[in-house]
Structure 1
Amino acid sequence: MTLMDDVKAKIIDFLRGYLADHAIDDDENIFATGYVNSLFVMQLVLMVEKEFSVVVEDEDLDIHNFRTVNAMAAFVLRKQAVLAERP
C-alpha cells in the first residue's frame, strides 16, 4: 500500500460515517452527493488536521482541496511534504 492509498483509506473511512450507505468513488464530488453541509466541512477539516498532523490555513480552504477523496489525499500529501522540507 502506498502513502497515497493509506491517506485515501483514512479519508474514506471518515466519510463513511457521514455518507451513510453511499459508496464514494475516489473522484466523486462529495459536495454533489447532498450529504454534506457546513458543519460536515468543519469536521472534515478538523479530521484532516488531526489525522494527518497538518495545519489547514485559511488559504487552503478552497473547495478544490476537499471536493474528492483524491483531491483531499493530494492536499494532505502536499502539506506533509512542505512540513518535511522545514528544518
Structure 2
Amino acid sequence: MDDIKAKIKGFLLQFFHNYELQEDEDIFALGFVNSMFAMQLVLFVEQEFQITIGNEDLDVENFRTVNAIAQLVDRKTAIALDR
C-alpha cells in the first residue's frame, strides 16, 4: 500500500508545487482540483495501476485524499485478482 500511496503522491505533487501534501489532506478542500484535473487524476489512476474506474467509482470520496485513492486502487486491484 505504501508503494501505491507514493505513486499517487508523486503524481499529485507535480501539480501542487511547493506544497507538502499529507496523505489524509482533502485535495478538493485545498482548492487544487478542478474538473479537468479530476479527469487527469482518474486517467492517471487507471493507467498507472492498470484498473478500470467505473461510473460507480466516480464518487468524490474515492479521490478526496491520497489515502482514499490508495484504498480505491487496493479494492479495484483485489477485485481484478479475484476474477
TM-score (norm. length: structure 2): 0.97
Residues 1:18 and 2:15 aligned together: yes
* TM-superposed deviation, 1:59: 0.8
User: Cα deviation per residue 1:16-63 (whole Å; 9 max; x = unaligned)?
Assistant: 011111111110000011121111000000000000000000110001
For 1:67, which of 64, 68, 71 is the aligned residue?
A: 64
Please give the alpha-carbon distance, in whole angstroms, between the structure 1 residues aligned to 2:66 and 2:43.
16
Residues 1:78 and 2:75 aligned together: yes
Counting aligned pairs with the same residue, the percent is 54
AA at the equivalent of 1:15: L
TM-score (norm. length: structure 1): 0.93
SS of residue in 1 equivalent to 2:21: coil
SS of residue in 2 equivalent to 1:36: coil
Q: In the alignment, which residue of structure 1 is the partner of 2:29?
A: 32
Report the aligned-residue RMSD: 0.5
* TM-superposed deviation, 1:13: 0.3
Residues 1:51 and 2:48 aligned together: yes
Structure 1: runs of 5 or more not aligned: none
Moved over 4 A (4+): none
